[in-house]
């Protein structure tokens, strides 16, 4: 086999024990690196036949490399260290090193090329003393691509091989959108960068995507020229009246200060009254608004109108307090007619209760308004979130739901409402298009342990989508810097993984346990990966490979700059504005 004897491609010779899963290689110095893909040509004779042996190519991946000099014993090294002697000043042999590589068998294919990238299981080990060689880039690309070579409409171009930068690595987009993907890495390793590359590739195929963006990492997608008219950014006003009164009472207690048991008993009345206060009849609504503005003595209510928010709950609690204090029978009748059942039976004690609800609701309304303003600033030129969530799912559209500014509980609740509505529409057959949900900081939406009702509901909907989404055309991309805090059931439902640098031991151990397709040798590499390097594993790729992710076209809202360059830039802007 002349090509094996080519000195430029030769990397070593099989030595010692060889199995159908693994072999050891005596390595020619400096010819390979860990995670390199190599090949061995072999002959496989079929039993019970007189046919000539089949010529095959065995593909393997270098898992680890061991280097030893048997003529330079450890004791000699300690002696030299103790006497501070340079080894080259001695007669010890330093040139008789033995370099051995442990190689994992990936599979085999006929040498005639009839397999077209599909590797078969090797059932008989390659022969010791056989030569291994470095395949050419085209062959490596073909094998890495695997069956995608015949299904290129599913291929997403996202990376290059880390050790062979000329080899492009494409992954199976179908596996990502139907069987879920997890992108796991520590902060700064390139998670969002990687996710944006994948989103841009899926956008080229017009796949509908809904992104839940807690930090503004995906606002820059709208600046990509070929995506500019396809990215829709939404700011999320909290849909207060889509929740039940108990949940809203918890919100008031969290953002304001705690409601007493007596206040909680009356809060349901106030909440239902606020919910029924808004009507579709414009003239009727105008009259109600003018009346409310006059009763509480706040002209802003009439000037800016009434909206379905926390301010309305606070305003009505105040109106009830005032009406009870003045024994205003006409006001009592109006509140009763507008949906405040039982108000005529309230007493003076209830007036003090309503006063307490009013103070807490006003404080909560101000806090919620601050969060909403921050959210709109981060979302930039965004639209309000549509009431009909199906509007987020359109052919070729990327919907970015900005959640920045809200606390974790509010983010979880917003996600739960939107994702549940869309998933239920898919289940009911009201939405024809498939959809892919992307959860940035997924451990906040599907934590391992729920500490609040909002987190519990969020976990439930994420689990349901992870377990049943494939049947209804709903996929997930989970992105997390703390995988050990992710719900294990949800993560285990992901069949594809992009795993980047990870230093935290708890996260490393968790990933090793949950990700079945990740080998021990790959797992040991996680702390040492460079920024942008990743291990692809699972159904998106033919076999696990170490890659370097390609750069996305878009920029995130918070791309890290040099701190001192950022300082000087801010100083120049301040000087220009005369501040």
Q: What is the DSSP string of 78-135?
A: HHHHHTT--GGGSS---S--EEEEEEEEEEEEETTSTTTTPPBPP-SPPPTT-EEE--
In this predicted structure, which of 19-33, 243-257, 482-496 has the lowest mean pLDDT?
Answer: 243-257
Q: Any alpha helices (H) in 340-437, and if so which ranges?
A: 348-379, 408-427
Give pLDDT tens digits for 320-339: 999 999 888 899 999 999 99
Q: Return the CATH fold of 155-236+385-568.
A: Rossmann fold (3.40.50)
Q: How many CA atoms lie within 13 A of 314 on its CB side?
A: 18
The reported pTM is: 0.84
What is the pLDDT, as a whole number, of residue 2? 39
Relative to beta strand 545-549, strand 383-384 is: unpaired
Q: What is the pLDDT of residues 118-164, one digit of tens each?
A: 889 998 999 999 999 999 999 999 999 888 888 889 999 999 999 99
Binned at pLDDT 50, 70 and 90, residue 1 comes out as very low
Q: Using an 8 Å Cβ cutoff, are 401 and 392 in contact?
A: yes
Element (H, E) at 141: helix 137-145
pLDDT at 559 exceeding the cut of 60: no
Domain range annotation of the chain: 2-135, 155-236+385-568, 241-374
pLDDT > 90 fraction of the chain, expressed in percent and rounded: 63
Instruction: Look up residue 19 and give its two tokens.
Output: 């199995």
Contacts of 533 (CB under 8 A, 6+ apart): 162, 500, 501, 546, 547, 548, 549
| DSSP-derived secondary structure for 470-493 | HHHTEEEEEEES-GGGB-HHHHHT
């Amino acid at each position: 086999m002349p090509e094996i004897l080519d000195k430029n491609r030769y990397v070593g010779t099989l030595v010692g024990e060889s199995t159908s899963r693994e072999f050891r290689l005596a390595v020619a110095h400096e010819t390979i690196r860990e995670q390199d893909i190599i090949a061995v040509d072999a002959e496989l004779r079929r039993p019970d036949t007189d046919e000539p042996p089949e010529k095959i190519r065995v593909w393997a991946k270098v898992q680890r490399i061991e280097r030893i000099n048997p003529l330079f014993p450890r004791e000699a090294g300690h002696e030299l260290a103790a006497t501070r002697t340079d080894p080259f000043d001695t007669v010890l042999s330093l040139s008789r090193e033995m370099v051995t590589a442990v190689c994992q068998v990936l599979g085999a294919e006929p040498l005639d090329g009839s397999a077209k990238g599909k590797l078969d299981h090797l059932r008989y080990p390659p022969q010791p003393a056989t030569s291994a060689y470095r395949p050419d880039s085209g062959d490596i690309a073909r094998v890495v691509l695997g069956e995608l070579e015949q299904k290129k409409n599913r291929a997403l171009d996202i990376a290059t091989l880390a050790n062979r930068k000329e080899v492009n690595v494409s992954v199976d987009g179908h596996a990502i959108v139907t069987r879920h993907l997890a992108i796991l890495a520590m902060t700064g390793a390139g998670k969002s960068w990687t996710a944006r590359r994948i989103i841009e590739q899926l956008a080229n195929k017009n796949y509908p995507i809904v992104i839940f963006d807690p930090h503004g990492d995906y606002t820059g997608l709208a600046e990509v020229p070929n995506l500019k008219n396809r990215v829709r950014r939404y700011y999320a006003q909290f849909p207060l009246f889509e929740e039940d009164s108990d949940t809203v009472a918890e919100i008031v207690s969290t953002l304001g200060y705690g409601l007493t048991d007596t206040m909680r008993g009356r809060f349901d009345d106030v909440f239902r009254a606020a919910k029924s206060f808004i009507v579709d009849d414009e003239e009727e609504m105008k009259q109600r608004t003018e009346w409310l503005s006059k009763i509480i003595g706040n002209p802003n209510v009439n000037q800016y109108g009434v909206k379905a928010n926390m301010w309305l709950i606070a305003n009505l609690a105040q109106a009830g307090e005032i009406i009870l204090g003045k024994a205003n029978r006409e006001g009592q009748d109006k509140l009763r007619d507008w949906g405040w059942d039982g108000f005529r039976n309230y007493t003076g004690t209830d007036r003090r209760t309503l006063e307490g609800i009013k103070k807490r609701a006003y404080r909560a309304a101000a806090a919620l308004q601050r969060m909403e303003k921050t959210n709109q600033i981060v979302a930039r030129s965004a639209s309000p979130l549509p009431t009909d969530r199906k509007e987020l799912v359109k052919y070729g559209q990327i919907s970015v739901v900005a959640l920045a500014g809200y606390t974790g509980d509010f983010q979880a609740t917003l996600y739960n409402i939107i994702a549940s509505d869309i998933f239920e529409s898919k289940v009911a057959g009201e939405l024809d298009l498939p959809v892919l949900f992307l959860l940035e900081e997924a451990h906040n939406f599907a934590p391992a342990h729920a500490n609040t009702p909002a987190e519990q509901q969020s976990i439930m909907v994420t689990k349901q989508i992870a377990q049943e989404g494939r049947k209804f055309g709903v996929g997930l991309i989970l992105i997390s810097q703390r995988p050990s805090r992710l719900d294990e059931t949800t993560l285990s439902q992901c069949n594809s993984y992009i795993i980047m640098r990870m230093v935290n031991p708890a996260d490393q151990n968790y990933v090793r346990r949950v990700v079945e397709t990740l080998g021990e040798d790959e797992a040991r590499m996680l702390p040492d990966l460079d920024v942008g390097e990743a291990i692809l594993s699972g159904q998106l790729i033919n076999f696990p490979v170490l890659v370097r992710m390609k750069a996305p076209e878009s920029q995130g809202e918070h791309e890290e700059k040099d701190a001192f360059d950022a300082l000087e830039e801010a100083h120049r802007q301040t000087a220009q504005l005369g501040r």
